[in-house]
Every structure is written in C-alpha cells, then in structure tokens.
C-alpha cells in the first residue's frame, strides 16, 4: 500500500527567526519545507521546485511581496500563495494582498495551530478543485462519447444551457446554434401550440421527472420519434432541468406496424380461412401438396399411418376372433353330442382372448392411459434377469451382450412395463438383424442439460440410461422421424401392428423419461431410454409366493355394479362359483339404494365408467354410509377418477379388464384379507 508524499511548501521570509519558527511549525504539521530569504530567490525556487503553496512575507529586501505574488500567479496560477505580514495588518493591506492574487492573507502574530490550519484549508480547497476538474473532464468525455443520446441542460425558463455531442448528432444543430435557444424550437408546431414544452417542465418540477415520448424536429425539418425523460436538477447543481432522449423512430414504426397488423389480423385470418375452405373442397385429392397448411398436412400423415396399420390390426383381431368363434362353435357341437372333451378348444379360445387383451394393453400404453404401479428399481438387476428370457426368445443366432454401469442410480418405474419395453426393443432389434447378429444392452448414469431438456420438453437433471443396440440394417432419417408415430411400421401387413415403439414411447414419457433413436443405414440402431433418477429410500416390493386363492365364504356378500348386462352376469356367476354371496346392480343409483337397505355387505365391486354416477362417486357415497366397506374398482379404460396422473392412488384397489377367473379370485381375496 502506497501513501502520497507530503506537500512541498516554500517559506519566504528575510527574518531569520521568523523563517525558522515557521519552518518548524510546518514540518511539525507534516509538510516538506524549503525556504527563501528574498523575492528573487523565491521566484527561482518556484520555477525549480514547483511548490504546492508559497508562504510569502509581504515585506522583502529586494522585491515587494505583492509583486512576487503577482509574478507567481501569472506564471503558475495553480500554486497557492498565502501572504503573511507583521506590519501590514490593516483591512486595506489585506484587501490589496487578496486583490493582488493571494489566495489568503494572515497577520502576525499568528498562533502555530492557526497557521497550520490555514495551510491545510487552502490545500483541501485546491485538492477539491482538482477533483472537481477531473470529474468535469470525465463527465465531458462521457457526454462527448454518448452520441446515441441527446443530453440537453435547460434553465428554469426553458432556454438551453448545455448541448451534448449526441444532441448535435441527432438534431443537426451545433452547440453554438443551440445554446440560448428556447427548448420549444425542437418541438412540432402542434406541440408548441398545445404548450407541451412548458407542461413538461412543470411536471418535472412537481414530480422530479417527466417521461417524454413524442415527435421532435431536426434542423433539416425531418421529424423523428424521441423517447426520453426530463429530470429536475437539485442543489448543489444550478436550478434547471436535464433532458435525455434517444431517436427511436425505427422501433416506434415497427411497433406501429405490428399494431396495424394485429388490428387487421382477425379479418385476414377469416378471409384466409374462407380461402382454405374453398381450396379444400376443390382440392381434397391433393391435400398433401399444400405446404402452407401444416396442421392439415400433419392430419394427413396421421391418416396415412392409420391406413398402414389397418391391415395389421384387423388381421390380428380377425385371427383372434376366428379362433374364439370357431372354438366356441366346436365346443357347442361337442357338448350337443354329449362329448365333454373340449379342453383343447377352451385352451385355444382362452389363449386368443389373452392375445386380444395384450393388444388392448399395447393400445393403452401408446395412449399413455395404462395404470402404472411404480417401484424402486435397480436397472442392472432387471436387465440381468431379462437376459435369460431374451436368450430363449431371440434365438441362438442372436448374441446378447450386457454392459452394466457401475454405481448405477436407482429409478422408480413399473417393472412389468419396463421389462415389456426392453423386450419390445430387443425383438425389434432381432427383426432388423434378420434373426442373426449382436444385441447389446447397456446401462449408465446420465445428465440431461437445460438446452437438451428444453428442446425435447423434459426436465433437466440426472437420469439412468438404458440402451438397446443392434447390428441390423439401420433406419433412414425419414423412418426415425416416424418411428414413434402411432401404428407406423416397416413390416409387411399382418407382421406387426406398429404399436411396439409407440408403447415404449408412451410408457417412458408416462414415467417422466425420454427415449431417443440413433441409427445409421447398414450399421445398426441404438434406442436409448432415459428414466429419472429416484432420490427416495431404496425400498423394494417383496414378491410373495403365489398360492391358489382361498375360496369365498357365503357370509361374505359382494355387490357387483356394472352397466353392461353381459359383463355383470359373467362377474356375478364367477363370484358365486368362487363361493361368495352376490348382489347386483346395473347403475350407481340402484347400488346406493341397495347399500342403504342391506347391512350384510362385505365388498363393493364396481365398474368405473357408468352413466349418471361413475364408480368413484358411488364409492364415495357408499363409504359415507358404510365406512368399513371394502371397495374394488374395475374398468377397461382408466379415468382420473381412479388413476391420478396414470399412477394408482395409494390405497385404491383396482382390477384391469379383461380379467380371468383366477385373477378375479386372487384380487377379491387379497382385498378382503387386507393383503
């Protein structure tokens, strides 16, 4: 840390005692001191040493002190002169000294402290003057460089007192031309007639500032739109105003053009809509060629994808229905002949029904409306367990390799749906390799940054990545763009529904994740699934040993509520077959009446989607009447009444349609037993 050197003071006195005394006082006060015994020596030292202050005796043997002061101030006006005298002490003497250029005048005798204080006061004043000049120079430099802004100082009566280089550049008038003019000459004729310049000053005077947005006039007569503010100047500044403005003509005209556009937009949209409707009627066969109708083009693409999937969906369902219808017909014929060996037909019918249920689940997964039961999962363990199934499912010519990341984070997802998604990706990989090649399943921790997250509409943060990579034929960019579209498939009609990747996409997005395809023709494809890292406790659902469900008891009374007659009768017969006592109702209102009348009910088994009163509303009313009543919901289409954000509500018992008798028995028993 550096400190400034002491001020240099020249002490001029022909009296040796007086000179010595003042030298001692000044040095004790912390100043550097040089002395001179006459005027000539004082002028020589002044030229040579440039002292900050000269302490000058008025009476000198060679040159009068007043003359020495005049010469010093003429040649070096920045040097302070403090005159001091023991003989010239009258008011007239002091006045002559000050008018001769002295900065101050002291009469002797003077106390040491007073002398030191007077010198300090003069040096402080000089220091403040230097700082002020530096500040003014800096301000002038700033004003000169701010050529984009007009800075105008205005007196209280409205006349221009200051005019910056920016003002000259914007208005075209030089400083000499503008100074002394009334500020009103910059305003338009209409504003001058309305008294705007005076009103602006009055507002700034009363409130401290006045915003300014208006058309002003340049020297060449051009109008420009100025945006700025007028501020009242407060003491110690000279009373008046400071006006700062900028030429914003371009921005103003752009905003006005936008306003004009908005004003006519509705009319133009209506006209354009009529044009499009007319063109649509005239060119229905050429809708795909309308490049400027993006919404219609997307709809056309969806219809194209829907057309491609029709063969596969219809083919699969027709095959299933053919087995069911034919199997039932054969069973009827066999029973009519008295034969009871119909097991093989029943097995075929049941298998086809299950395949239809699986296809329905795929459709629900694509629409992201399947209920999920997420658990805390270790993806490495799930992949390891799945590898054995893949070995048996994909065939001997597919080599499966796993690359499992160390220290893998936990995730929270539905294990069954995740396994199904990975199986779908693996089967797609096998098909792309024509049943021969290498399939790699890899896991790793990953971080998705803000830019990528914003682009793909997901949350930034930590994820677990599971990648399924094949060495197959790869996909073109066009195929990748459509891969997750509903019902899109590259397989022949009857070989695929186009729901595999859609199911994967639906499940992953439903679980808060992201899925991305990377592919190169002739090299292979990698599908990367990103699932959010789970920060909760590492709790896992304990698997229970499956055992045959216990039979129902006649004292356990179940109320079945279902608006579809055939579905209700099947459920009633199945429950009675399992040993339960069963009541039935076709709607919620009838069910409420039965609950009010019966005190022996054990469980309410209700459909969710029903007219007039849905299952959620029925359950709420039933529990108010019977708080101890157990409730089991069922539906083929999930709704928020039961499924909140596609995750089963805590404590809600749910059985997805369609279900087998075994599934019904197991679920009913677990609800009644509180399992």
CB atoms within 10 A of CB 343: 9
| 293: exposed, middle or buried (Cβ count in 10 Å: 0-12, 13-18, 19+) | middle
Sign of the Cα torsion 272, 274, 276, 282 reads negative
Rounded-to-integer distance, Cα 462 and Cα 534, Å: 9
Q: Indicate the helix (H) or strand (E) that contains 399.
A: strand 398-403
**Tokens coding 514:** 């992201």
| Separation of alpha carbons 465 and 445, rounded Å | 6
**What's the CA gap between 543 and 537, in Å, rounded?**
18
- Cβ atoms 447, 461 nearer than 8 A: yes
Listed in sequence order, the residues at least 6 apart from 537 whose beta carbon sits closer than 8 Å to its beta carbon are 376
Handedness of CA 85, 87, 93, 99 (dihedral sign): negative
Chain-centroid distance, C-alpha 180: 53
Q: What is the distance between the alpha carbons of residues 485 and 61, in angstroms, rounded to a whole number?
A: 111
Task: List the structure tokens of 251.
Answer: 């921005």
- Of 655, 471, 461, the closest CA to residue 575 belongs to 655
* Helix, coil or strand: residue 628: coil
- Name the H helices within 631-674: 661-673
Residues of the chain with pLDDT under 70: 1-4, 135-147, 236-237, 285, 287, 289-327, 329-330, 333-334, 337, 339-340, 342-345, 347-349, 351-372, 486-500, 537-550, 637-651, 675
- The pLDDT of residue 463 is 95
Q: How far is CA 273 from the centre of its chain?
A: 34
Three-state SS at 614: coil
Strand partners, 375: 413
List CB contacts of 270: < 8 A, sequence separation 6 or more: none
* pLDDT tens-digit series, residues 484-529: 776 566 655 445 555 567 778 888 888 889 999 988 888 889 999 9
b/e 47-70 (16+ beta carbons within 10 angstroms → b): eeeebbbbbbbbebeeeebbebbe
**pLDDT at position 342, please?**
63
Distance in angstroms (rounded) separating the CA atoms of residues 99 and 93: 10
Distance CA 171, CA 150 (A): 8
Sorted by sequence, the CB contacts under 8 Å of residue 175 that are 6+ apart come out as: 163, 168
d(CA 405, CA 379): 10
Sign of CA dihedral 647, 653, 658, 660: positive
- By residue count, the chain amounts to 675
What pLDDT is stored for residue 368 in this prediction? Answer: 43
HEC per residue, 292-322: CCHHHHHHHHHHHHHHHHHHHHHHHHHHHHH
> Can you say whether the dihedral through the CA atoms of 68, 69, 70, 76 is positive or negative?
positive
Pairing of strands 514-520, 630-635: unpaired
Six-digit token pair at 216? 């002003």
Are 592 and 626 in contact by the 8 Å Cβ rule? The answer is no
Strand locations in 199-352 (E):
209-217, 223-233, 240-247
Q: What is the pTM for the complete model shown? A: 0.39
143 neighbors 164 (Cβ within 8 angstroms): yes
Can you give the pLDDT at residue 278? Answer: 84
Residue 12 pairs in a beta bridge with: 36, 56
Which two structure tokens, joined as six digits, stand for 602? 């054990």
Residue given tokens 């893998």 in the structure block: 408
Q: Name every residue whose Cβ is closer than 8 Å to that of residue 275 and which is 6 or more positions away in sequence.
A: none
Question: Can you give the three-state secondary structure of 180-206, one letter per residue?
Answer: CCEHHHHECHHHHHCCHHHHHHHHHHH
- Write down the pLDDT at residue 197: 92
What local confidence, expressed as pLDDT, does residue 183 receive? 92
* 338: its two tokens: 């008295």
pLDDT given for residue 428 in this prediction = 85
pLDDT at 26: 92
What pLDDT was estimated at residue 421? 86
Closest CA to 550 of 657, 396, 667, 634: 667
**pLDDT computed for residue 212 by the predictor:** 85
Beta partners for residue 114, in sequence order: none
CA proximity to 178, closest of 215, 213, 217, 136: 217
Which structure tokens are listed for 505? Answer: 């996409």
CA dist list (Å): 565 to 25, 577, 604, 639, 663: 119, 18, 17, 21, 21
236: preceding bond cis by omega (within 30 degrees): yes
CB 632 within 8 A of CB 561: no
Contact in structure between 443 and 408 (CB atoms under 8 Å)? yes
Per 3-state DSSP, the chain is made up of helix, strand and coil in percentages (nearest 5) of 50, 20, 30
What gap in Å lies between CA 282 and CA 6, rounded to an integer? 97
What's the rounded Cα separation, in Å, for the pair 441 and 526? 9
Query: How high is the pLDDT of residue 155?
Result: 92
Q: Which two tokens stand for residue 25?
A: 């006082």
Q: What region does 195 belong to: left with phi over 0, alpha with psi -120 to 50, or beta?
A: left
- Cα–Cα nearest to 26, from 127, 122, 131, 98: 122
């Amino acid at each position: 840390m550096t400190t400034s050197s002491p001020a240099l003071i020249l002490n001029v006195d022909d009296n040796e005692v007086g000179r010595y005394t003042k030298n001692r006082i000044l040095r004790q006060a912390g100043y550097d001191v040089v002395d001179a015994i006459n005027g000539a020596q004082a002028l020589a030292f002044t030229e040579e040493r440039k002292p900050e202050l000269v302490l000058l005796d008025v009476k000198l043997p060679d040159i009068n002190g007043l003359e020495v002061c005049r010469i010093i101030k003429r040649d070096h006006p920045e040097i302070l002169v403090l005159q001091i005298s023991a003989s010239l002490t009258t008011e007239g003497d002091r006045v002559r000294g000050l008018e001769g250029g002295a900065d101050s005048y002291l009469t002797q005798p003077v106390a040491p402290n007073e002398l030191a204080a007077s010198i300090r006061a003069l040096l402080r004043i000089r220091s403040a003057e230097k700082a002020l000049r530096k500040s003014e120079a800096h301000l002038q430099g700033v004003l000169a460089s701010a050529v984009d802004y007009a800075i105008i100082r205005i007196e209280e009566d409205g006349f221009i007192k200051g005019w910056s280089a920016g003002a000259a550049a914007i208005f075209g008038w030089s400083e000499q031309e503008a100074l002394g003019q009334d500020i009103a000459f910059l305003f338009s004729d209409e504003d001058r007639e309305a008294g705007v310049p005076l009103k602006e000053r009055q507002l700034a005077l009363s409130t401290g500032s006045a915003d300014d947005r208006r058309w002003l006039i340049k020297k060449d007569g051009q109008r420009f739109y100025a945006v700025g503010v007028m501020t009242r100047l407060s003491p110690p500044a000279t009373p008046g105003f400071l006006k700062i403005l900028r030429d914003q003509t371009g921005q103003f005209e752009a905003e006005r053009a936008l306003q004009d556009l908005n004003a006519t937009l509705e009319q133009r949209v209506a006209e354009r809509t009529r044009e499009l409707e007319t063109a649509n009627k005239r060119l229905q066969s050429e809708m795909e060629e309308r490049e400027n109708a993006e919404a219609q083009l997307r709809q056309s693409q969806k219809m194209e994808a829907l057309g491609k999937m029709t063969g596969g969906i219809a083919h699969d369902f027709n095959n299933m229905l053919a087995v069911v219808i034919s199997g039932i017909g054969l069973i009827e014929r066999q029973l009519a002949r008295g034969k009871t060996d119909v097991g093989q037909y029943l097995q075929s019918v049941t298998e086809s029904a299950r395949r239809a249920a699986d296809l329905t689940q795929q459709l629900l997964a694509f629409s992201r409306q399947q209920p999920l039961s997420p658990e805390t999962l270790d993806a490495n363990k799930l992949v390891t367990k799945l590898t054995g199934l893949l070995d048996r499912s994909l065939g001997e010519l597919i080599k499966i390799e796993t690359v499992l990341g160390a220290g893998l984070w936990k995730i929270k997802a539905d294990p069954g749906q995740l396994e199904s998604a990975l199986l779908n990706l693996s089967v797609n990989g096998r098909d792309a390799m024509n049943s021969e090649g290498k399939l790699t399943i890899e896991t790793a921790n990953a971080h998705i940054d803000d830019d990528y997250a914003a682009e793909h509409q997901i949350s930034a943060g930590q994820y677990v990545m599971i990648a399924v990579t094949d060495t197959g034929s790869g996909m073109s960019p066009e195929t990748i763009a459509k891969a997750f579209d509903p019902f899109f498939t590259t397989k022949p009609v009857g070989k695929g529904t186009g729901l595999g990747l859609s199911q994967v996409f639906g499940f992953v997005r439903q679980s808060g994740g992201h899925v991305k395809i990377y592919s190169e023709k002739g090299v292979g494809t990698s599908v990367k699934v990103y699932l959010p890292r789970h920060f909760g406790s590492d709790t896992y659902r304990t698997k229970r040993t499956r055992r045959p469900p216990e039979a129902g008891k006649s004292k356990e009374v179940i109320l079945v509520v279902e608006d579809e007659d055939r579905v209700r009768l099947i459920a009633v017969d199945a429950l009675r077959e399992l040993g339960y006592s069963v009541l039935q109702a076709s709607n919620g209102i009838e069910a409420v009446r039965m609950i009010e009348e019966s005190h022996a009910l054990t469980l309410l088994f209700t459909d969710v989607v029903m007219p007039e009163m849905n299952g959620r509303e029925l359950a709420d009313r039933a529990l108010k009447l019977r708080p101890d009543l157990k409730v089991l919901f069922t539906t083929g289409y999930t709704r928020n009444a039961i499924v909140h954000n596609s995750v089963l509500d805590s404590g809600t018992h749910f059985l997805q349609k369609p279900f087998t008798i075994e599934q019904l028995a197991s679920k009913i028993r677990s609800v009644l037993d509180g399992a």
